[in-house]
Amino acid sequence: LAYLAAKTLDEALAAVSDPEVSVIAGGTDWYPARGDRPLPGNILDISRLSDLRGIEKTTTGWRIGATTRWSDLYKLELPAAFDGLILCAREVGSIQIQNAATILGNLCNASPAADGVPPLLALNAQIEIRGKGSHRVVALSDFIKGVRQTDLQPGELATAILIPDPNPNTRSSFLKLGARKYLVISIAMVAANLRLSDGKIAEVAIAVGACSLVAQRLSALEKDLIGLSPENVTADIITATHLAPLTPIEDVRGTPEYRLASVKTLIERVLRAAT
């Protein structure tokens, strides 16, 4: 094996059992991350695993296969709870990137600024992982362990994103703050899924990215928003305790203070957008 474009999952799992093998899907994170370093000896390209491409309804929810591209999301009628993920897809890089890059590659790359993580955390996504003769499922919140660190063990491939059936009344949105509109690394992004009952928030999930090593759900805020009307949720009712899971860094894109202030405004706006 020097470069193998696997055609079947069995072929891919046999190849990945060699710990020296590098896996690429769309390659849009993997190639730029190599910089000037020479290519490694053995590359397994999974992008042609057509059985793993697509989004399908299962008895318990939805399954997004490992080789599903961002732009595949636009081809189906999905429940309104997916609107945040679709808005996110439209802002990942450019159309060329959306056509080549996989949704699951975005999660496996485990960048703090991966735009796909907040909307999928808000959808309570899980990751299906397979090895030769093994199969397991982990919550996305446990799958990404740190910067560029996932729960994947040697010999394993992530094979699908699993999303439990959302309530048909769940609405969703996603907002990304960058220094310009497209082709930009997020300063902060927020995804929200919510269900109203009599105009009041009955269920809500809020996830924030690019403000901690791993994107975070804001569970204390989610709890405090139950029973409120979305139009009464303004940036000023969001406290430091609500944002405690966030540990934003200072970099060329912004200061920690700017990021936290932005997150409050994004939450106010994303909840309105979702309703």
Q: Give the footprint of ligand FAD on this chain (CB under 6 A).
A: 23-30, 32, 46, 66, 91-93, 97, 101-102, 104-106, 108-109, 114-116, 152, 157-158, 183
Tell me 168's DSSP state. Answer: T
Distance CA 270, CA 59 (A): 30
Q: How far is the CB of 104 from ligand FAD (least distance, A)?
A: 5
Distance CA 194, CA 183 (A): 28
Which residues have a Cβ under 8 Å from the Cβ of 28 and sit 6 or more positions away? 93, 97, 100, 101, 105
Q: How far is the CB of 229 from ligand FAD (least distance, A)?
A: 32
**In the numeric block, which tokens belong to residue 156?**
């394993």
Give whichever of 29 and 224 is closer to ligand FAD, judged by the CB atom. 29
When CB distances to ligand FAD are compared, the closest residue is 105
Give whichever of 23 and 190 is closer to ligand FAD, judged by the CB atom. 23
Give whichever of 34 and 223 is closer to ligand FAD, judged by the CB atom. 34
Give whichever of 29 and 72 is closer to ligand FAD, judged by the CB atom. 29
What DSSP string describes 8-66? SHHHHHHHHTSTTPEEESS-TTHHHHHTTSPPPS-EEE-TT-GGG-SEEE-SSEEEEET
Q: How far is the CB of 215 from ligand FAD (least distance, A)?
A: 11
Distance CA 241, CA 186 (A): 23
Give whichever of 105 and 230 is closer to ligand FAD, judged by the CB atom. 105
Q: How far is the CB of 197 from ligand FAD (least distance, A)?
A: 33
Give whichever of 97 and 237 is closer to ligand FAD, judged by the CB atom. 97
Q: How far is the CB of 125 from ligand FAD (least distance, A)?
A: 14
Give whichever of 55 and 221 is closer to ligand FAD, judged by the CB atom. 55
Which residues have a Cβ under 8 Å from the Cβ of 218 and sit 6 or more positions away? 206, 207, 208, 242, 243, 245, 246, 267
Counted residue by residue, the chain has a size of 275
Q: How far is the CB of 227 from ligand FAD (least distance, A)?
A: 34
Q: How far is the CB of 23 from ligand FAD (least distance, A)?
A: 4
Distance CA 166, CA 62 (A): 9
The b-or-e profile of 146-161 (16+ CB within 10 A means b, else e) is eeeebbbeebbbbbbb
